[in-house]
Structure 1
Amino acid sequence: MDRESPAVFRDAIKGSELNWQRGAAWAFRQATGLVWYYRQSNPTMSALGRSTISRLVEYLAP
């Protein structure tokens, strides 16, 4: 997603702040698994995990 898409998506689903944070935590957990599990066998998947983590950190940073 680009920078504006998360806000548009969040507005559309009308989710609570808690649910949004829970979803971000789940995405972070999944992404960390991609980074280490696929590091050797599938570098593209590992890179996807790293980019997801970067986007989450950027989006959630104050």
Structure 2
Amino acid sequence: MAMYEGDPEVIKHVLAEAPLPARLLMPIIGPRLYAAHAKRVHGTATPPRSHAISR
């Protein structure tokens, strides 16, 4: 979820500090896992991001 919602520059910085396996795998595995979760919960793999939801 953090990779889906987060600022790309912040995610890049966080991953730069992570161990090598996480740096290599998270950009591949993270979006896939979140898409599967979002599809179950929201009915779509790409629900509106929190900043796009009007209050």
TM tier, smaller: 0.3 to 0.5
Which protein has the bigger helix share? 1
If asked which structure has higher relative contact order (CA below 8 Å, sep 6+), I would say 2
The TM-score, its normalising length taken from structure 1, stands at 0.42
- What TM-score, normalized by structure 2, do the two folds share? 0.44
